[in-house]
Amino acid sequence: MGRYRVRVTDAPQKLPPVHEAWLPREHALYRPRHGRRQLTALLCAVVFFSAPALMWVFGGRPGEIENRALAGFPSISDGWGFFTGFPQWATDQLVFRAGAIDAADGISHGLFGEPAPMGQHGDGGPIPGVPDGPQAGDGDGGDSGNGDRSEDDQGGSAGYVEVIEGKDGWLYYGDDVKAKCFPQRPVEETLQRLDRIRHAVEASGRRFVLTIAPDKTTMVPQHLPDSYAGKDCAPEATKKFWRLAEQQRSFQDLRPSLRDAADQLGEPPYYANDTHWTDDGAVMLTRDVAEAIQPGVTDSWRSDGVGWSTTQGDLASMLGRTEPKASIRYELKPDGRTDRTHDPLTRFDGPERYDADAGVDIEGVIGAPTALIGDSFTFASSRYLPAAFNDLTLLSYPQLGKHKKDTLDVFVRSEVVVVQTVERSVAEGDLPLIDEGFVKELEQAMQRNPIR
């Protein structure tokens, strides 16, 4: 049998020793240096990066269109955080961002009859995140809540949005609904832990008041849309919630006063495009808390309107809109003559103490040192709350993780402790105040420091 030999005669091909753009157009490896698509992309990049710079040179400045301050330039010392924080800073510095968002929202409403999908996913919201709060499944009572519903057995939270667009331009915070349909723990357990705080405070000889700011979905349900995710479960959960809350000891129910305010005003004391109450609601909270501590103390009070305050609505911001919220501003005169209101807080982090008149007996003012630990509803009422007290310290429970020792110290030196929380947080069981570690520390601090 003859043998066949295969002989390789073709030498390996080499790339041409010139740039592919310099080859003849007929060459198989020819590639233009800048194709039409490349040129278009380069032009868009030049416009995108140069336009904000030129607008800055000529006086354009980015504005705060969300419910937070603009992101600061990340620091090199942040390590990888420099790279992860840079995109948010760059986005916030776009001078024309507010106009672009308004345009996108207008187009979406005009063409499709629905809002642009901005602010409808993620973890943002008007209420700050809760540090050190109990989480579902953490072994600290974090079951699915209400004993019968959880995100797993109900197919997750699909369809739930951060902002519910209601009728007549009204907006609602989506967590008002979602918190009740997917609680982290039974509301009975949350209220029991709040009652442990009450017992610890009162057993030490101090006064205690618990008050809960009702959700806007509870007080102004008439503007909710005909259909929304959670409509099948939230209303029933709301009824159960308030039935249990009414049974709490040392509880100040704000709903009757809010209804009275709505009747007198001819409209609800809540903003249409914000999750909080107006200044009318803030004055009402101040009155109700003062009356709960010292009945009859508000008999001499006068609150006269002195103008308007206008800020940005937080729910509108979450949708990327720039919509103002306006409310009548009041002077609060506990003695009927002297305006004792303060400038509202611009941030709510550590303890804020108001004690200019400590030791002075003023008509209509509570003299006992008082601690009020609350959330964004306390923040929204910070113009009026100090007017009712000679010695008041405001604390933020969403920041409890950073200020636990300061909080315990304030409770110890106070004769009255007020806890203000919001319905959705209690319904969900998402409260750092009821963390088992904090409750035990508070019980021990109160036991070691009785006042009588």
Q: What is the pLDDT along the chain (452 residues), one digit of tens a residue?
A: 555 555 555 555 565 577 676 777 777 777 666 666 667 777 877 776 666 666 666 666 665 555 455 666 677 766 666 666 656 666 666 665 665 655 555 555 555 555 655 555 444 445 443 333 333 333 343 333 344 444 444 445 568 999 999 999 999 999 999 999 999 999 999 999 999 999 999 999 999 999 999 999 999 999 999 999 999 999 999 999 999 999 999 999 999 999 999 999 999 999 999 999 999 999 999 999 999 999 999 999 999 999 998 888 899 988 888 889 999 999 999 999 999 999 999 888 889 999 866 556 789 999 999 999 999 999 999 999 999 999 999 999 999 999 999 999 999 999 999 999 999 999 999 899 999 999 999 999 999 999 97
Q: Is residue 232 part of a domain?
A: yes
Same domain as 342, residue 201: yes
Q: Is residue 154 part of a domain?
A: no
pLDDT value at position 148? Answer: 43
Q: Is residue 235 part of a domain?
A: yes
Same domain as 284, residue 193: yes
Q: Is residue 71 part of a domain?
A: no
pLDDT value at position 433? Answer: 94
- Domain count across the chain: 2
pLDDT value at position 355? Answer: 85
Q: Is residue 29 part of a domain?
A: no
Q: Is residue 13 part of a domain?
A: no
Q: Is residue 334 part of a domain?
A: yes
pLDDT value at position 35? Answer: 60
Same domain as 363, residue 262: yes
Same domain as 442, residue 341: yes
Domain that holds residue 106: 81-116
Q: Is residue 155 part of a domain?
A: no
Same domain as 210, residue 110: no
- 3-state secondary structure labels for all residues of the chain: CCCCCCCCCCCCCCCCCCCHHHCCCCCCCCCCCCCHHHHHHHHHHHHHHHHHHHHHHCCCCCCCCCCCCCCCCCCHHHCCHHHHHHHHHHHHCCCCHHHHHHHHHHHHHHHHCCCCCCCCCCCCCCCCCCCCCCCCCCCCCCCCCCCCCCCCCCCCCCCCCCEEECHHHCEEECHHHHHHHCCCCCHHHHHHHHHHHHHHHHHCCCEEEEEEECCHHHHCHHHCCCCCCCCCCHHHHHHHHHHHHCCCCCEECCHHHHHHHHHHHCCCCECCCCCCECHHHHHHHHHHHHHHHCCCHHHHCEEEEEEEEEEECHHHHHCCCCCEEEEEEEEEECCCCCCCCCCCCCCCCCCEEECCCCCCCCCCCECCCEEEEECHHHHHCCCCHHHHECCEEEEEHHHHHHCHHHHHHHHHHCCEEEEEEEHHHHHHCCCHHHCHHHHHHHHHHHHHCCCC
Same domain as 109, residue 205: no
- Does pTM surpass 0.75? no
